[in-house]
Amino acid sequence: MGRSVGNLVKTAALIGLLWGVLLAVGWLIGGSALWIFALIGLVGTAISFWNSDKIAIRSMRAVEVSEHEAPGLHRIVRELADRAGKPMPRLYISPAAQPNAFATGRSPSHAAVCCTQGILQLLSERELRGVLGHELMHVYNRDILTSSVSAGIAGVITSLAQMALWFGGRGREGGGGIIGALLAMILAPIAATLIQLAVSRTREYDADHDGARLTGDPQALASALEKISRGVQARPLPPEQELQDSAHMMIENPFRADGGLGQLFSTHPPTEERVARLRRMSEREILGG
């Protein structure tokens, strides 16, 4: 059970592209700044990755629940974890009324899955099972590591671009000079952000596909996504910084969607496309394809 080969290749290509942008900006400004900022970015990424579960859980004010406190939730997750042959994660419930869920943690052995009160009240058990399968596959595919790496590289690129004007480019060596430095400062962070968000959207498609395979019920996740999307639009979370930093982990973007050009800067694919893919997947299984 794992991410599809096509999306694995796409994710690797996107992260490779991020490294290409990083090296290009480093070449432009020259000197030792590339290595200094790369080291800072590496340390920052490691700290963020190691503490990702604590940060996300704190941002949603979630509390860990025992099997006695949430027997149904524990039963579903244990069944799916056993089916995947993976460890059982810790389970948390957030008091948020918005229907949402997320998984976090640095490895399958150090993972947590969180559901909001809103999602527990909104979904049927079948739909909740589909959502939990999706979240578990984020853990088992090690998507937290993937997102931490892409966010770390993007952060280094942004820092380097901001330094480009200070160094004045590599004009004396035939490089871009001040014009190149200006372009790098403006365009490189935008390119890095777009690539990072593309990685995030690919992760969501992977978790939809692999989670549906784990549960054997693509239609349940499709139905859940439609309900969650409507619920999020009715109850968007406040744009607090900690919540914004954790938004990419959630099954649905917790903020009100802008639509149009805003989709380029979205952490999640359009719900309609996710639902359509899941329904096509269900049809193929019914037809034996």
Is 135 known to be catalytic?
Answer: yes
DSSP code of residue 257 = -
Q: What's the pLDDT at 214? A: 96
Considering Cα of 139, then 198, then 146, then 106, what sign does the dihedral take? negative
Tell me, what's the pLDDT at 117?
Answer: 97
Given the residues 135, 242, 273, 283, the one annotated as active site:
135
| Domain count across the chain | 1
From CA 68, how far away is CA 180, in angstroms rounded? 61
CA distance 146 to 106: 10
pLDDT the model gives residue 133: 97
Q: Of all residues in the chain, what percent carry a pLDDT higher than 70? A: 71
Mean pLDDT is lowest, of 143-147, 209-213, 259-263, for 259-263
Q: Which residue has the higher pLDDT, 142 or 262?
A: 142
149, 177 in Cβ contact below 8 A?
no
Above pLDDT 90, what percent of the chain? 42
Residue span of the structural domain in which 162 resides: 5-286
Can you tell me which residue has the tokens 């993972």? 111
Residue for token pair 């973007």: 253
Mean pLDDT, residues 119-133 taken together: 98
Read off the pLDDT of residues 163-194 as tens digits, 9 standing for 90 and up.
665 655 554 444 455 666 676 677 777 877 78
- Give the pLDDT mean for 16-22: 72
Indicate if the pLDDT at residue 99 is higher than 60: yes
**pLDDT number for residue 172:** 44
Specify the pLDDT at position 28: 64
Give 220 or 29, the one with higher predicted confidence: 220
Phi-psi region of 168 (alpha: psi -120 to 50; beta: other; left: phi over 0): left
